């Protein structure tokens, strides 16, 4: 079985005040994620992305359907702790996730709560901070860090719990371009070098193109999924649902519409420049 | 055109005289014409937010002047409150500032405090709601029952309702999805066109800024390092990168093409203008009939 297996889940947040049934936030989603994969999850606000993310570490349980993490059913209460050890969640606002007044204490919070021995916590904290390039800041106060640095500390806090998978809900939404780069390269490093499974929820298409697979959600369902090239080649479908495509892809799509022969849709700057050079040759 | 806002040798130092002294804005000189839409970019900590707080007198300059409509805003410090009606400020995540029982009352709070009442007040609320695309029926709801995007728009309407001469928005689209971003941005542009007021837009999204701004201010470590027309700013991709910023993807693609010797202009800001340039290149070489 795959590391994450989401099987036809439905979920609605509790009923409306007037007693009527709230509409489903997730409406029959199935998704298989292999160990070591990097998945980007796209879609409008309210499409059910975050609800899916919260299902991946048993923060939410499906109304019907099943979620298995490494073979364990998230509905099995005895497994909840194991599942949360395996899947760590990072949220949008770094300020809401940091609890201690010193960076290294903040990172130690997770493993302390898991009951890890003090000497081992020390090692885990150091390693986690090194992994996100924040080791030199270990004695700093979190509130004095930049947004990108804070978000990396939040990621380190998750890493210190040694999860096998990290789920991030728009971790770069509040960051400037530099901060976004810092977080993204950290994630790529964890994925490529350490084999960490990564599920990244984002509104930024330039981040999504870095993933192994892209999943696009709409109205609680999966609209399409595949490699970034497969997904972003469907410019029409994405536009119809008012989702973005990278500007590089959009240009190629429009040139194609003018009757030019373009086989491989470019996803980034380099590919687009190469494509244009070939067209203009 | 006349100058609406002039900054003269403006500086601000946090915690002056303490060991934590930090200069956040240093020697900024610039003037903005009435009716311009100005983009402000710069990485986190570059001084953008401090600069905009100086504009409506939330903080007082350590040295230098902010001149609004020909008058120093600190000429009469007791009257500083009036400046806040003239320079409307929409902070980051303004939806956290909603507090009234209904959306209508929340939008009316600003203009009512300015002394508006009766029909005048009602008109101000309705117009502001229209600018931000809020339906009439939403106005009677509690602001806390709205979706995130609606809350954001209600908060912005509250500032627009004061009809400020200068509207300052600090990252109004942060955290919205691409569709929400598009809609809000075009509403701001509509407001700017109809009211012909001056708008200052702080953003981390170079694509947004490229689409709407007439001129762009670039802040870097407390200084104003560039201030020029949008096209010109984005033709300096290397310099922007040095400041921890970047140019929109499409601009970068066209700049690289130019470096390779193709006859395209620098500072291409949208996919459509890139398309028309490529198209005319192809046309010239007879590749499209």
Tell me: the pLDDT tens digits for B216-227? Answer: 999 999 999 999
- pLDDT for the residue A17: 58
Q: Is there a contact between A251 and B250 if contact means CB atoms under 8 Å apart?
A: yes
CA quadruple A2, A76, A41, A29: dihedral sign: positive
| A95 in contact with B, Cβ within 8 Å | no
What is the value of pTM for the model shown?
Answer: 0.83
Using CA coordinates, name the residue in chain B closest to A43: B177
Residue A204 located in a structural domain: yes
Q: pLDDT, tens digit, for every residue of B17-26? A: 888 788 999 9
The crossing angle, in degrees rounded to 10, of helices B118-131 and B103-113 is 120
Residue A62 located in a structural domain: yes
Tally of CB atoms within 10 A around B133: 16
- pLDDT for the residue A20: 59
Residue A250 located in a structural domain: no
Q: pLDDT, tens digit, for every residue of A226-265? A: 999 999 999 999 988 888 899 999 999 999 988 888 888 9
Tell me if residue B129 falls in helix, strand or coil: helix
- pLDDT for the residue A23: 75
Q: How far is B119 from chain A (nearest CA, A)?
A: 35
A22 band by pLDDT with thresholds 50, 70 and 90: low
Q: Which of A16-25, B64-73, B163-172 has the lowest mean pLDDT?
A: A16-25
- pLDDT for the residue A18: 59
Using CA coordinates, name the residue in chain B closest to A178: B244
Q: Which domain holds residue A67?
A: 4-245
- Per the structure, the count of domains in chain A is 1
Residue A180 located in a structural domain: yes
Residue A75 located in a structural domain: yes
Work out the average pLDDT over A11-37.
82
Residue A29 located in a structural domain: yes
CA angle in degrees (0–180, nearest 5) for A254-A256-A259 = 120
Domains in chain B, please, with CATH? 3-230 (3.40.50.300), 248-289 (no CATH)
CATH number at residue A71: 3.40.50.300
Interface predicted TM-score of the whole assembly (ipTM), two decimals: 0.78
**A117: closest CA among A128, A104, A108, A126?**
A108
- pLDDT for the residue B100: 92
Q: Which residues in chain A touch residue B288, judged by CB atoms under 8 angstroms apart?
A: 258-260
Residue A16 located in a structural domain: yes
Q: Is there a contact between A276 and B278 if contact means CB atoms under 8 Å apart?
A: yes
β-strand partners of A72 = A69
E strand or H helix that includes residue A10: strand A4-11
Output the average pLDDT for chain B.
91
Q: pLDDT, tens digit, for every residue of A43-74? A: 888 888 989 999 999 999 999 999 999 999 99
pLDDT surpassing 90 at residue A87: yes
Task: Give the single-character DSSP code of B143.
Answer: G
Q: Which residues in chain A touch residue B147, judged by CB atoms under 8 angstroms apart?
A: 45-46
**Residues A246 and A229 sit within 8 Å (Cβ to Cβ):** no
β-strand partners of B178 = none
Using CA coordinates, name the residue in chain B closest to A259: B288
Residue A14 located in a structural domain: yes
Residues 6+ apart with CB under 8 A from A187: A38, A155, A166, A168, A198, A200
């Amino acid at each position: 079985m795959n590391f994450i297996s989401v099987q036809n889940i439905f979920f609605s947040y509790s009923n409306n005040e007037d007693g009527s049934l709230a509409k489903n936030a997730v409406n029959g989603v199935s998704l298989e994620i292999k160990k070591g994969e990097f998945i980007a999850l796209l879609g409008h606000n309210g499409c059910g992305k975050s609800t899916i993310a919260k299902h991946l570490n048993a923060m939410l349980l499906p109304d019907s359907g099943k979620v298995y993490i490494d073979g364990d059913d998230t509905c099995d209460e005895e497994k909840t702790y194991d599942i949360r050890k395996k899947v760590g969640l990072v949220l949008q606002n770094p300020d809401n996730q940091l609890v201690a007044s010193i960076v290294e204490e903040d990172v130690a919070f997770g493993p302390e709560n898991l009951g890890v021995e003090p000497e081992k916590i020390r090692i885990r904290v150091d390693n986690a901070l090194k992994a996100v390039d924040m080791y030199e800041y270990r004695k700093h106060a979190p509130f004095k860090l930049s947004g990108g640095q804070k978000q990396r500390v939040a990621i380190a806090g998750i890493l210190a719990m040694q999860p096998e998978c990290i789920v991030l809900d728009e971790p770069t939404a509040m960051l400037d371009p530099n901060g976004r780069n810092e977080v993204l390269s950290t994630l790529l490093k964890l994925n490529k070098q350490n084999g960490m499974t990564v599920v990244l929820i984002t509104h930024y298409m330039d981040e999504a193109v870095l993933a192994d697979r892209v999943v696009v959600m709409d109205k609680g369902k999966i609209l399409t999924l595949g490699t970034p090239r497969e997904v972003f080649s469907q410019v029409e479908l994405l536009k119809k649902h008012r989702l973005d495509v990278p500007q590089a892809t959009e240009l190629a799509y429009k040139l194609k519409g003018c009757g030019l022969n373009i086989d491989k849709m470019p996803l980034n700057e380099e590919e687009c420049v190469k494509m244009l050079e070939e067209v203009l040759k | 055109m006349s100058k609406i806002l002039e900054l003269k040798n403006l500086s601000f130092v946090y915690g002056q005289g303490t060991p934590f002294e930090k200069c956040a804005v240093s020697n900024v000189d610039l003037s903005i014409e009435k009716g311009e839409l100005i983009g402000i970019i710069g990485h986190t900590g570059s001084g953008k937010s401090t600069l905009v707080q100086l504009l409506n007198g939330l903080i007082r300059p350590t040295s230098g002047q902010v001149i609004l409509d020909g008058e120093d805003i600190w000429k009469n410090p007791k009257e500083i409150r009036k400046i806040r009606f003239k320079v409307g400020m929409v902070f980051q995540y303004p939806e956290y500032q909603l507090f009234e029982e209904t959306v209508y009352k929340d939008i009316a709070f600003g203009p009512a405090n300015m002394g508006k009442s009766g029909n005048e007040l009602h008109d101000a609320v309705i117009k502001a709601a229209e600018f931000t695309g809020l339906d009439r029926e939403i106005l009677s709801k509690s602001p806390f029952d709205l979706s995130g995007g609606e809350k954001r728009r209600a908060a912005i309407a509250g500032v627009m309702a004061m009809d400020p001469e200068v509207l300052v928005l600090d990252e109004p689209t942060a955290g919205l999805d691409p569709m929400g971003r598009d809609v809000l941005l075009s509403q701001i542009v509509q407001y700017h066109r109809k009211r012909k007021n001056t708008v200052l837009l702080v953003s981390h999204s170079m694509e947004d800024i490229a689409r709407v701004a007439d001129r762009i201010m670039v802040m870097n470590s407390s200084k104003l390092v560039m201030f020029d027309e949008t096209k010109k700013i984005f033709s300096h991709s290397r310099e922007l990168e040095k400041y921890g910023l970047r140019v929109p993807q499409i601009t970068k693609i066209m700049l690289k093409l130019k470096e390779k010797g193709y006859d395209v202009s620098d500072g291409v800001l949208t996919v459509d203008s890139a398309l028309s340039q490529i198209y005319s290149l192809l046309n010239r070489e007879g590749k499209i009939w």
